[in-house]
Amino acid sequence: MKTISDIKSARNTVQNWKKDGYTIGLVPTMGFLHDGHASLIEKAVKENDKVVVSIFVNPIQFAPNEDFDKYPRDLQKDSDLCKKLGADLIFAPTANEMYPSKIYTKVDVQSLGDNLCGAKRQGHFSGVCTVVSKLFNIIKPDKAYFGQKDAQQLAIVKKMVEDLNFDIEIVPCKIIREPSGLAMSSRNAYLTDLQKNSALIISKSLNEALKSLKFGEQNVGKIKNIIEQKIKSEPLAKIDYIEIVDLQSLEPVTKIQNDILVAVAVFIGKTRLIDNFVFKMERE
């Protein structure tokens, strides 16, 4: 497995693979890889001849008040894991390589980024779409792998690929949880043991909401209330948002008629964690 930090060499490597007829899978990440990323890489290894894992903490998707500087980084550990999982190339550019001069072009998927995390993190999804487009243009993968934990990101990237005719299949991958139920996230590294324990309230609250949906509850307010009350029972947790939105449009719903996404963002101390589930309506 190679690690490359410049765009030209990454391009050459992938172009040579393509000349040899290999299919390419890309797993875009910001590093500090955990089992969630590992599941994406494993899937990519199964489904493609060559797998590229990009590791880049993308400055333009962080607002000035966010955690760009302290975002956890460990390239050596990441590279050991990628090698073990059978990836072929790590593309780990510097910020200067990706953004050598002021950029005038940004990719913005309208409206899908207006609520949920988009409403709380100004400019975040434009930063994500811009870097993902750049990675797609550099690596030109056949397939790219994204986790369902970032459900809004996944929906936005899918729409961007459709709207801009990227010839790439977006492969969604399910949320990977710790045995406790906590959704895997690089940001879990910020949590103390006590906070980690408090964070369990997030998946517990979603489980209760799912249970009530399965029992036939259709009142959006009541479902949100179940989540809210549960999270509020944990003193260290502070709700950022609880949203129930249409799975396609990501617009808030008042009635549960179509497939929905139930998504939350919760601060545990200063750490903002997100989690969600999809509820599919049974159709005759």
Site of interaction with ligand PAF (CB under 6 A): 28-30, 58, 61, 128, 131-132, 150, 153
CB of 30 to ligand PAF, least distance (A): 4
Provide the edge-to-edge strand list for the sheet that holds 143-147. 2-4, 89-91, 50-55, 24-29, 143-147, 169-173
The label of the residue with tokens 């906070």 reads: 195
Tell how far CA 194 is from the center of its chain: 25
By beta-carbon proximity to ligand PAF, the closer residue of 125 and 277 is: 125
Is residue 124 part of the annotated active site? The answer reads no
CB of 87 to ligand PAF, least distance (A): 15
By beta-carbon proximity to ligand PAF, the closer residue of 127 and 226 is: 127
By beta-carbon proximity to ligand PAF, the closer residue of 64 and 179 is: 64
Phi, psi of 114 (to 5 degrees): -80, -30
User: Could you give the CA distance from residue 176 to residue 156 in angstroms, rounded to a whole number?
Assistant: 21
By beta-carbon proximity to ligand PAF, the closer residue of 153 and 198 is: 153
Contact 146, 50 (CB under 8 A): no
CB of 29 to ligand PAF, least distance (A): 5
Of the residues 29, 30, 36, 37, which is catalytic? 37
Q: What residue type is 283 in one-letter code? A: R
CB of 165 to ligand PAF, least distance (A): 20
Active-site positions read: 37
